[in-house]
A and B are shown apart, each in its own frame.
Chain A
Amino acid sequence: AAGVIQSPRHLIKEKRETATLKCYPIPRHDTVYWYQQGPGQDPQFLISFYEKMQSDKGSIPDRFSAQQFSDYHSELNMSSLELGDSALYFCASSPPGGQQLEQYFGPGTRLTVT
């Protein structure tokens, strides 16, 4: 069965650079969520999109932005990267009507900022 795809799987950037993380939800899923998990920490909710509109916002820094496109894939854009942005970034998707109940997580993108 198809799963959530995230790319790249690993990314190394330097401070003050920009990074773009991509998420491809499971086909026919209309809701996408982004989470940030620092080393040894719990996942922190960043932002979610439902039908290409932002549906909820968590602890996402102003340096980050995200959007969901017409094909439902989503991109998380991170600018002016800081060392503290090094983390595992998870994307999750859920089907119509599923939302909170059924979040399927991708494998994550490991971002390292040096």
Chain B
Amino acid sequence: GEDVEQSLFLSVREGDSSVINCTYTDSSSTYLYWYKQEPGAGLQLLTYIFSNMDMKQDQRLTVLLNKKDKHLSLRIADTQTGDSAIYFCAESPNTGGFKTIFGAGTRLFVKA
């Protein structure tokens, strides 16, 4: 089946690194994503990783993929108060269609 799981809350101090973890079940997923949602706003694609990659770095963001364990993580370096949001892990199962399955979201609190 298709399921994405992630922890619900994370609290860090400004300037520290944040690591948000996610596990997924569908090993056929070609793409795995991290989306950010600020209060009352839509979903913003932060970054994605192809399933044949182990790591992807994009400025302050580092995505690590352990395909064997179906584990995905997002590291935010030098976390700022503006990073406070809900972060959704998502996968696109390779079913021939175009749907994306989201995790429950991790609410990141950044303390000044």
Residues on A facing B (Cβ under 8 Å)? 31, 33, 35, 41-45, 48, 50, 55-58, 90, 92, 94, 99-108
A contacts with B: majority SS? strand
* Number of residues from B at the complex interface, CB < 8 A: 20
List the one stretch of B13-21, B71-79, B102-110 in contact with chain A: B102-110
Could you say which residues of chain A place their CB within 8 Å of the CB of B48? Answer: 101
Could you say which residues of chain A place their CB within 8 Å of the CB of B98? Answer: 31, 33, 48, 50, 55-56, 94, 99-100
9 A/B residue pairs, CB under 8 Å, sorted by A: A42-B104, A45-B100, A48-B99, A55-B97, A56-B99, A57-B97, A102-B45, A106-B42, A107-B42
Could you say which residues of chain B place their CB within 8 Å of the CB of A106? Answer: 42
Pairs of residues from A and B, 8 with the lowest C-beta to C-beta distance, nearest first: A56-B97, A100-B92, A105-B43, A42-B102, A45-B99, A105-B42, A48-B98, A56-B99
Residues on B facing A (Cβ under 8 Å)? 30-31, 41-45, 48, 88, 92, 95, 97-105
> Complex: how many Å from CA A108 to CA B103?
19
Query: When the two chains form the complex, which single residue of B31, B43, B44, B97 contacts A101, counting CB atoms closer than 8 Å?
Result: B31
> Complex: how many Å from CA A57 to CA B98?
9
Q: A43-B88, A100-B30 are in contact. Are A58 and B99 (CB under 8 A)?
A: yes
